[in-house]
Amino acid sequence: MSQTILVVDDSPTVVKFVSLSLKNQGFKILTASDGMEAIEKISNLSEADKVDLVITDLNMPNLDGYSLIEILRQNIKHKDIPIIILSSEDGDDDQERGLQVGANSYLVKPFKSSLLLQEVTKYLE
């Protein structure tokens, strides 16, 4: 069964780009345009379906990436999902905050699809 990746970004271009990069590798892709929608998608999945990895932007309307990660890390069911941050914010503060809230990796935009795939396969073998 293919593994499921949730891509969270308010830019439709980035969502499409990431989805296309990963769909080719056989992953099932779910998408959300902000943290709130991501929480809804994850919460509404049945027991049989689960999200194996989350890729999220930081700056998003309604619920940003930091808050999304914090919420997931506090949830017993979803606290262990690997989370990769994708952001154009390349300052040390952003990366440290990303780490503090519990992200596993941080990719700086723009990025190569090969690098994204390499990062994803670290967590999904």
Does 115 bind other proteins (CB under 8 A)? Our answer is yes
Binder among 8, 32, 87, 97 for other proteins (CB under 8 A): 87
Q: What is the per-residue DSSP string for 25-63?
A: TT-EEEEESSHHHHHHHHHTS-SS----EEEE-SS-SSS
Nearer CB in complex with other proteins: 23/50: 23
Does 11 bind other proteins (CB under 8 A)? Our answer is yes
Binder among 52, 89, 123, 124 for other proteins (CB under 8 A): 89
Closest approach, Cβ 98 to other proteins, in A, equals: 8
Pairing of strands 83-87, 53-56: parallel
- Tell me which stretch binds other proteins (CB under 8 A): 41-49, 69-77, 111-119: 111-119
Q: Decide: helix, strand or coil at residue 1.
A: coil
CA 18 distance to own-chain centroid:
10
Backbone angles phi, psi at 5, to 5 degrees: -120, 130
Binding mask 18-57 for other proteins (x = CB under 8 A): --xx--x---------------------------------
